[in-house]
């Protein structure tokens, strides 16, 4: 089964400081055909205007990753963490028994563009935890870079779910391949640029879900430079 989720079909939240595109149902946007994909619950594509941001608010029992695509993002939380990350860094929270956090654009001139990703954990009520990691461009240029997994292998984020999360920056006419295991769920999200997955063209904001397929995925760069994420889930 292959499912294509076009950028133009996503839900939208818009106010004076935020434009957010929702791949799956979120907040006031509800689409019964797009609630989630396996444990992947949220992919929000957010552009936060200068000096804007999400005030402190609570979460529990959710694995939350934030990938900055451009600009900078300031994070504060109830555990005392206060930091600013840029596009070379990814942040991850295990909300567990409960965490309060806020995400802000510290710049008074430049918007910040980010992806916020939620994954439903397999283990509930863990101790809340926050961390951030730097992933240099070279580690994902024309290759798949592992960001996190269910066992935190290779020094990546520990995700409380049977999932592997990869990121790649791919140049035009370069390709990477991925072999899904049988009965696994794969979701590919194009953050910027354009790619071709086997015979399917995808542009920025598009998503592709693959379920119970074991064909090798050949991912080809179609723009000068493209950035995408690949989720491999049970």
Residue 76 pairs in a beta bridge with: 82, 102
Contacts of 152 (CB under 8 A, 6+ apart): 158, 159
Cα(180)–Cα(157) distance, integer angstroms: 21
DSSP 135: -
Mind giving me the DSSP string for 144-206? -EEEEETT-GGG-EE-SSSEEEEEEEEETT-EEEE-PPTT-EEEEEEEESEEEETTEEEETT-
- Known binding residue 189? Answer is no
Check the annotation: does 101 bind a ligand: yes
Please give the structure tokens belonging to residue 170. Answer: 């791919």
Q: Is 57 annotated as a binding residue?
A: yes
Q: What angle do CA 53, 208, 24 make, to 5 degrees?
A: 40
Q: Is 153 annotated as contributing to ligand binding?
A: no
Q: Yes or no: say if 34 and 79 are a contact pair by the CB < 8 Å rule.
A: no
- Tell me the binding residues for Fe cation: 57, 59, 101, 103
- Tell me the binding residues: 57, 59, 101, 103
């Amino acid at each position: 089964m292959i499912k294509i989720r076009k950028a133009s079909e996503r839900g939208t939240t818009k106010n004076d400081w935020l434009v957010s595109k929702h791949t799956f149902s979120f907040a006031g946007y509800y689409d019964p055909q797009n609630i989630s994909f396996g444990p992947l619950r949220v992919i929000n594509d957010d552009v936060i205007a200068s000096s804007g941001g999400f005030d402190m608010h609570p979460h529990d029992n959710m694995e939350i990753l934030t990938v900055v695509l451009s600009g900078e993002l300031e994070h504060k939380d109830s555990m005392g963490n206060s930091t600013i990350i840029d596009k070379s860094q990814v942040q991850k929270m295990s909300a567990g028994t409960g965490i309060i956090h806020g995400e802000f654009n510290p710049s008074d001139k430049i918007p910040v563009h980010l992806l916020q990703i939620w994954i439903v954990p397999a283990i509930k009520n863990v101790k809340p935890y926050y961390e951030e990691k730097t992933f240099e461009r070279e580690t994902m240029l024309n290759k798949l870079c592992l960001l996190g997994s269910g066992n935190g292998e290779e020094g990546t984020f520990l995700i409380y779910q049977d999932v592997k999360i990869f990121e790649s920056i791919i140049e035009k006419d370069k390709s990477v391949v991925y072999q899904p295991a049988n009965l696994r769920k794969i979701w590919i999200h194009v953050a910027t640029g354009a790619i071709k997955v086997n015979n399917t063209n995808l542009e920025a904001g598009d998503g592709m879900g693959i379920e119970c397929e074991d064909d090798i995925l050949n991912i080809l760069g179609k723009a000068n430079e493209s950035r995408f994420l690949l989720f491999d889930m049970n």
